[in-house]
Chains A and B, each alone.
Chain A
Amino acid sequence: MATVPKAETVVNVLWINAGLSCDGDSVALTAAMQPSIEEIALGALPGLPKVKFHWPLIDFSLGGAEFLKAFFDAEKGQLDPFVLVIEGSIPNESLKKEGYWSGFGNNPETGQPITTSEWLDRLAPKALAVLAVGTCATYGGIHAMAGNPTGAMGVPDYLGWDWRSKAGIPIVCVPGCPIQPDNLSETILYLLWQANGQAPMIPLDDCLRPTWLFGATVHEGCDRAGYYEQGDFATEYGSPKCIVKLGCWGPVVKCNVPKRGWIGGVGGCPNVGGICIGCTMPGFPDKFMPFMDEPPGGKLSSGVSSLYGNVIRGLRAITVKTLDEEPKWRHPGRELTTGYRPNWQR
C-alpha cells in the first residue's frame, strides 16, 4: 500500500545507530553512488519527496538535546511522516537488574540513558516504515553469536516477524556486514518513492529482504562460477580459481555482491579472492563458522563437478586451442585463400 503524504510534506529519516553495531552501515551509505546520499538529500532524482535526515554520522548539530529533539517530537506525533532506521542488533535489556547494554540519549525524567529497545517501543508504532540496516539489525549478526552476553537479536525478532507499520509496511531488512552501499541507498530511495506515492509496496521475500537485491545467490552472480562448473578449484588463497574448497559459501548465500562489486563495481568477495562467509544470511555467523573450512554440504556437489568438470575442461581446452588460432586465410602473399573468387581474375 502506498501512502501519499500531503504536498510539500517532508519525509523525515530518523536514524538510530545505537543498536549493537559498528556503525559500518552508516559509513557504507556515504560510499553509495547509485544514488549517493547527497543526491537524495538535495532532491536530485525525480519523484523524491523532500527529505530531512536525522542521522548521527553527519548531522550538522553538535549532538545532545539539539539532535534528539526530532526523536522526541516523533514520539509525540509531531514529526509525521518518518522512516525509522535501525542500525545494530537489539540487546535484551530484560536480562539484568539495571543499567543498559545500549543507550541513545537520556531520559529527561531519570537522567539515565534511553535504551535502543525502548526507542523502538516508542517510535515504531508512529513510523511510516521501519528499515533495519545491516545484518545486526536485520537478524542479530555478529553480536548475536553463540556465547554472547547481551542476548542480542534482530529488529524482526524484537518487534515480531509479522509486524506492520501503521501504513501496512512490513519491516524492511537490508542485510550485509556491512551493507553493500548501493543496496542501502537504493532501498532508501524506493521507500521514499513509496512514501511519496510514486511506487507500489516494496517487494520483500520471506526474510523481509527486497527481492530484486537478494533473489540470486552469490554463486549465480560470481565470475568464478565457470571454474566451479569445470571442477577447477583453488587450493591456496590468491588463486583466481573457484574458492569453495577454501571456505566459500557462495553457492548457498543470497547476495548480489559478486555481481555488483563493492563500490563503483570495484571489489567484492569470491570474485576478488575473498571467501563468502554468508554475512547477509539470518544464520550468520554461527552456521558458517569456522569460516575457513570447506562448507560440509559443498563436498558432494563440488565432488560431482570435479568428475564431469574435468572432462568438460579437457574438451574445452581443445576448443580454446582451436579458437586461439586464426583462420588460415589471413596471410600475406599473392594468393587470396578466403574463398572469394575475384572477378578481376576471372
Chain B
Amino acid sequence: MAIKDLPAASTTTASDRLVEMSWDPITRIVGSLGIYTKIDFKERRVAECYSTSAVFRGYSIFMKGKDPRDAHFITSRICGICGDNHATCSVYAQNMAYGVAPPALGEWIINLGEAAEFMFDHNIFQENLVGVDFCEKMIKETNPGVWQKAEKAEAPNAAAHGYRTIGDIMKSLNPFEGEFYREALVVSRYTREMFCLMEGRHVHPSTLYAGGVGTVATVQLFTDYMARLMRYVEFMKRVVPLHEDLFNFIYQAMPGYEHVGERRILLGCWGSFNDPDHCDFDYRKMSEWGRKMFVTPGVIVDGKLVTNDLVKINLGIRILLGHSYYDDWDGRETFVSEDPLGNPVDRRHPWNMHTLPQPQKRDFKSNYSWVMSPRWYDGKDYLALDTGGGPLARLWSTALSGLVDIGYVRATGNSVVINLPKTALKPGVTFEWKIPKYSNTIERNRARTFFQAYAAACALHFLDKALECIRAGHTKTWEPFTVPKDAIGCGFTEAVRGVLSHHMVIRDGKIANYHPWPPTPWNANPRDIYGTPGPYEDAVQNTPIFEENGPENFKGIDIMRSVRSFDPCLPCGVHMYVGDGKTIDVVHSPMVFPDAPG
C-alpha cells in the first residue's frame, strides 16, 4: 500500500527513486507511535521522516477545576512505565505552590524510589526491548554479514561478563530463549520491589504526597532495599562491560554507523534527585538548589553548556503547535505574566498555554500528529532540543557542569566517574563515562547502561543519608501544608527517558491550568510552525542504511534502532510504516512540494 498522503520529496536527491516505508505502530516501546519515511535505496539513506502519535487523552482538559492535591495521583496515569516520575514532578510543583518542604528523610525516600525506577526501567528497556534489535535472531535477518563477524569476534571484556564472543552476547539477547534476556526480566522485578519499598506501588505510587511520603521509615525499609541494591550493583559490573563490547563491535563491524540516528548536539536535561539540604522548593532560589541536584540540569548546544539555571530553563520553554491537531490559543487568557522573580513569562510558556483539540484526518501535508512541538528559546532560535533518550543528556550535562561529587559519583568537566563498591563476588569497580563525539543511536544506548550504574551509585549515597536520619531519630517523612487560594508552581526532574516539567496555576483553591511536559513530546514532535522537524524526524532523516536487505524484504532495523534509542514512551508518539510491509511507491523526479513542511 502506498501512503498517498505523504508529501512529495522536499529535498533534492541524486536518485529518482524514493520508496515510502512506514512502521505504525512501532513495537517494543511504550505507547502508540508511527514513523513514516521515504527511503532512497540507491544512496542507501533515509530521505524523509515523519513522526506521528495515535492517541489523545486530554489530561490538561479534565484536570481543570480539580483539587490541586489530586494532581500527582492523576498525572501519574499519563505514563505506564514512568508514571512515578510524573507523580514526583507533580509533587515538586505542588510543594512550590503550597510553600512546603518535606522533611529530609521524605526526600531521600523519593530519591531512592526514583533511583530504583531508573535502575528498573533502563534495564528492561535496554535488554528486553532495545536488546532484541541487536540479538542473534534479528542480526541474522537484517545483517547476515555482521553475524558472521560477530561469531568470530572475541569479546574484549569476556572476563568481566562471561561471554566469549560478541555472537554469544547476541545469542543471550534472543527473546525468551536468551539467558541474559531472561536474567534482565528477573532484575526488572527486584528493582521494582525496591521501588515499591519506597513508593508503594509500581508504576502509580501510593505513598507519594505533596509534603513528603507516607512510607513508614524504619531500619527494615532500608535494609530490604540495600540487599537488593547490592545485587544490582554486582549485576552492573557485568552489564557495563557487556554493552561496551556490543556497541563498540557495531562501530567496528559497520564503519560509518556513527551517523545512524545522528543529529546536531542539542540536548536538554532538567536535573534529577533533589538535595534536601539545599532544596526548599522556593522558586526564587531555584537557580541555586537546581545546581545542587545529583544529576545537574543543563542545555547543551553543539557540545557547549548554555545554561544550568533552572529559572532560565523554565522561562525558555515554548510550546509551538506545528503540524498537530490543535487550535492555537491566541486571544485566550494569560495566566502568568511574570514569574515570582519578576521575569516576564511568554504566552507560549506551559503556564500560559491552552489545550484546544481539533480532531481531523491525518494529512502529512498539513497536520499529522497529536503531539505538539515544544522548543527551547535561547533568545534567538527555537531549539528543537532532544533528551538523548534521557541518559545521554543527563550524563553530558552533569559531566560539563562538574558540580556533582559524592564519592560514589564524580563529575569531572568532561566525564563522569562512577565508583561501585565491593559486592558478594566482585571487588570494587570504577567506570568512567566520557563525553562522546556524537549524539547518535549508539551513544544514546551506551549512555543508558552507564546511567544505570550512575543511578545505583547515587542510591548508595541516598541510603547513607537516609540511615543517618533514622539513626539520629529523625523518622518524620511528611510535613503538613495548606493549599493557598491562588498560587503557581513548577516542577523539574528527569523522567527515565528525559526532561520532565509540570506547570500548575491554582485559582480559588482549584486547578486553573496544568500542563505537564514529558520527554517524548520533546523527542517525537512533528515539524513546528517554522518547519523545523522534531528530533526523531531529524535523527532518522539522512540516516545511512546498513541493513543488507533490499526494498523487497526491508525491515528498517537502522531506523528502528534510531527511534528506539530515544526510548519512546508514547502514551505520547512516532509512527513508521512500510506500506504493506514491502514496497510501496515510487516517487518520480524530486520536486519540492510547494507547501511541504520542513
Contact = CB atoms under 8 A, between A and B. Distances in A.
B240 interface: no
Given A38-B185, A149-B357, A272 B215 contact: yes
A147 B64 contact: yes
B202 A102 contact: no
Contacts of A145: 62, 74
Given A17-B32, A27-B203, A290-B69, A99 B359 contact: yes
A238 B69 contact: no
B213 A22 contact: no
A25 B81 CA distance: 9
A30 B128 contact: yes
B77 A22 contact: yes
A304 interface: no
Nearest to B177: A42
Tell me which of A22, A23, A28 has the highest count of chain B C-beta atoms within 10 A of its own C-beta.
A22
B132 A178 contact: no
A300 interface: no
Given A237-B209, A291-B73, A23 B579 contact: no
A27 B80 contact: yes
Given A237-B478, A272-B215, A277-B73, A58 B359 contact: no
Contact of A238 (B212, B325, B361): B212
Given A64-B577, A65-B579, A148-B61, A99 B360 contact: yes
A150 B77 CA distance: 16
B200 A111 contact: no
B196 interface: yes
Interface stretch (A208-216, A258-266, A325-333): A258-266
Contacts of A277: 73, 206
A140 B61 CA distance: 16
Interface size bracket, B side: 35 or more
Interface string B220-245: 00001000000000000000000000
Contact of B69 (A103, A274, A292): A292
A19 to B, nearest CB: 8
A238 B478 contact: yes
Interface stretch (B21-29, B145-153, B254-262, B271-279): B21-29
Contacts of B73: 277, 285, 291
B70 A26 contact: no
Contacts of A146: 62
B503 interface: no
A38 B182 CA distance: 8
B551 interface: no
A291 B359 CA distance: 32
Contacts of A344: none
Contacts of B577: 64-65, 106
Contact of B61 (A66, A96, A99, A147): A147
Interface in A72-122: 88, 91, 96-106, 108, 111-113
A14 interface: no
A67 B77 contact: no
Contact of A237 (B25, B212, B580): B212
25 contacts: A23-B79, A24-B83, A24-B203, A31-B192, A33-B189, A38-B185, A42-B176, A58-B129, A64-B23, A65-B577, A101-B359, A108-B1, A141-B77, A142-B74, A149-B62, A237-B477, A266-B193, A266-B196, A266-B197, A267-B202, A268-B206, A273-B206, A273-B215, A289-B66, A291-B67
Interface of A: 17-18, 20-28, 30-31, 33, 36-38, 41-42, 56-69, 88, 91, 96-106, 108, 111-113, 141-143, 145-150, 152, 177-178, 236-240, 243, 246, 257, 261-264, 266-269, 272-277, 279, 285, 289-292
A-B pairs, top 6 by smallest CB distance, nearest first, are A274-B206, A267-B196, A24-B80, A99-B359, A273-B214, A22-B80
Interface of B: 1, 3-5, 22-32, 54-58, 61-62, 64-67, 69-70, 73-74, 77-81, 83, 106, 124, 128-129, 132-133, 137-138, 175-176, 182, 185, 188-190, 192-193, 195-197, 199-209, 211-217, 224, 325, 357, 359-362, 475-478, 480, 555-557, 560, 571, 576-581
